[in-house]
């Protein structure tokens, strides 16, 4: 192999370097997987952040560790440590391209046929919890940045890489905390790429909104042999379910979005009834439950909404159903509690970060990138809403469907290809006039 540094620096040289560093991408992915950064509770965040930070420090980055003190879950046993690394590229002042990845993973769960925290390499894949979501993406971004730095290209501006925590639990101790303190706001940062596993040929410009709520219907307890003396909270909930089935679901299905959400089934408003709990708990010892009329029934709703809908409309739709029932059904009483809300977000598909990444996909893979939105939410919302930076997309290796599954893996060829795309996109963005 010829040494690419002997020749005049070119973008093709950067791509060659990345191709030659496949083993480094694999090794870094394995190293990150071996930190079981399971959230909750938020384990080994600091050592994992340090592993990433110290590598980047050796490559000339200024590295800062930020603990999100006082955020949900932050305790001395489980401190919320984030790392942000910045490197000026030496070609004078200019833009900053920021790669942000979350270090936390969900629990391994059951069904694994291999050790989830070993980082097994087999058949062109790296296996492990977080391989695809999203330690493989972080490794690809790191090697992409290092290849640009080593290329000898004279680039203005700066590259930043952050490893942040708690994305899987809302991002409050991670990107949200940093965004509140200006880490994701211009002029410090101009473009953000989040290497979430959206597939190597897709540029993800945003995500739908989320509204979680708990509805409780109230009843009156009585003996089960004389239910007419009580009032069943479960029957009241049944009436609500009937309305949801016959009125709300058809209305949601008819609501189409301009957001290019994938898969196709998510290109509309959706509702999942997450859980229902009503009546007496069954005894755990195998005995019979007591015969009583249910005095309470609770249901958790997970509503995903579109950029064309407002959060107030989403809330109002469920309130209206409940109010109709309160007017129609004797003794219908309820509580509606909001648990969690996230606004939808969408970057400009014709903006610099989306177009630069799409052009890089075309050059590296030889086919057009699909412009998509994610059905679920990720940290882009905080960059947009708190950091006030719209120039943020998700682009990275890995198949989204594998995230959070047993035997999660990421393809090595995809990591290499996505590292090339990220390097080209960054070089393009950095060399645009400010
Ligand atoms: Zn993720």
- Cβ neighbors of 112 (< 8 A, separation 6 or more) are 406, 407
Amino acid 205: pLDDT: 98
Instruction: List, by residue range, all CATH 3.40.630.10 domains of the chain.
Output: 3-207+344-430
The CATH homologous superfamily for domain 3-207+344-430 is Zn peptidases (3.40.630.10)
* Three-state secondary-structure class, residue 19: helix
**What's the confidence (pLDDT) of residue 3?**
52
State in Å: Cα 14 to ligand 1 middle: 27
pLDDT for residue 8 is more than 50: yes
**Proportion of the chain above pLDDT 90, given as a percent:** 93
Q: 410 alpha carbon to ligand 1 midpoint, in Å?
A: 13
State the distance from the centre of ligand 1 to the C-alpha of 101, rounded, in angstroms: 8
Give distance in angstroms: CA of 307 to centre of ligand 1.
21
CATH number 3.30.70.360 given to 209-342:
yes
The torsion angle over the Cα atoms of residues 311, 382, 117 and 64, rounded to 10 degrees, is -160
Q: What angle do CA 31, 80, 337 make, to 5 degrees?
A: 120
Distances (CA, A) of 62 to 84, 89, 158, 180: 8, 12, 11, 21
pLDDT at 29 over 60: yes
User: What token pair was written down for 197?
Assistant: 């596993």
The rounded Å distance from CA 136 to ligand 1 centre is: 11
CA distances from 119 to 111, 130, 232, 408 (A): 17, 10, 52, 10
Enumerate the CATH 3.30.70.360 domain ranges in the chain, comma separated. Answer: 209-342
How far does residue 163's CA lie from ligand 1's centre (Å)? 12
pLDDT in tens, 272-327: 999 999 998 888 788 888 899 999 999 999 999 999 999 999 999 999 999 999 99
- Measured in angstroms, how far is the CA atom of residue 347 from the centroid of ligand 1? 18
Pick from 374, 377, 380, 382: which is nearest to 392 by CA?
380
The CA R_g of the chain, rounded to the nearest whole Å, is 25
Taking the centre of ligand 1 as the mean of its atom positions, its distance from the CA of residue 132, in whole angstroms, is 8
| Position 155 pLDDT exceeds 70 | yes
Ligand 1 centroid to Cα of residue 142, in Å, is 17
């Amino acid at each position: 192999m010829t040494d690419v540094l002997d020749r005049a620096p070119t973008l093709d040289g950067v791509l060659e370097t990345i191709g030659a560093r496949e083993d480094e991408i694999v090794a870094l992915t394995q190293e990150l997987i071996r930190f079981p950064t399971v959230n909750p509770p938020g384990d080994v965040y600091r050592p994992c952040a340090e592993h990433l930070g110290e590598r980047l420090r050796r490559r000339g980055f200024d590295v800062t560790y930020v603990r999100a003190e006082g955020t949900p879950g932050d305790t001395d046993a489980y401190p919320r440590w984030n790392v942000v690394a910045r490197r000026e590229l030496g070609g004078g002042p200019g833009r900053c391209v920021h790669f942000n990845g979350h270090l936390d993973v969900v629990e391994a769960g059951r069904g694994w046929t291999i050790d989830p925290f070993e980082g097994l390499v087999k058949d062109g894949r790296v296996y492990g919890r977080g391989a695809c979501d999203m330690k493989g993406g972080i490794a690809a971004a790191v090697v992409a940045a290092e290849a640009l730095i080593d290329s000898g290209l004279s680039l203005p501006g700066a590259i930043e890489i952050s490893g942040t925590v708690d994305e899987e639990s809302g991002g409050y101790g991670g990107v949200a905390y940093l965004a509140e303190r200006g880490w994701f706001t211009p002029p410090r940062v101009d473009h953000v790429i989040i290497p979430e596993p959206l597939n190597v040929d897709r540029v993800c410009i945003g995500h739908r909104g989320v509204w979680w709520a708990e509805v409780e219907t109230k009843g009156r307890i009585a003996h089960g042999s004389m239910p007419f003396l009580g009032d069943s909270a479960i029957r009241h909930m049944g009436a609500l379910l009937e309305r949801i089935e016959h009125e709300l679901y058809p209305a949601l299905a008819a609501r189409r979005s301009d957001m290019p959400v994938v898969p196709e089934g998510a290109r509309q408003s959706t509702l999942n009834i997450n859980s229902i709990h009503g009546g007496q708990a069954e005894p755990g010892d195998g005995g019979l439950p007591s015969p009583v009329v249910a005095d309470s029934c609770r249901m958790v709703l997970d509503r995903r909404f579109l950029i064309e809908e407002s959060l107030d409309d989403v809330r109002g739709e469920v309130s209206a159903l409940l109010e109709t029932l309160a007017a129609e059904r004797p003794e219908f009483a309820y509580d509606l509690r909001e648990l969690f809300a996230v606004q939808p977000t969408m970057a400009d598909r014709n903006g610099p970060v989306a177009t630069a990444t799409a052009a890089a996909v075309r050059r590296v893979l030889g086919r057009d990138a699909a412009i998509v939105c994610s059905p679920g939410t990720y940290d882009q919302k905080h960059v947009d809403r708190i950091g006030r930076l719209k120039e943020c997309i998700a682009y990275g290796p890995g198949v989204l469907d594998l995230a959070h599954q047993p035997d999660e893996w990421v393809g090595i060829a995809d990591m290499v290809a996505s590292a090339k795309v990220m390097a080209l996109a960054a070089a393009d963005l950095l060399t645009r006039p400010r």
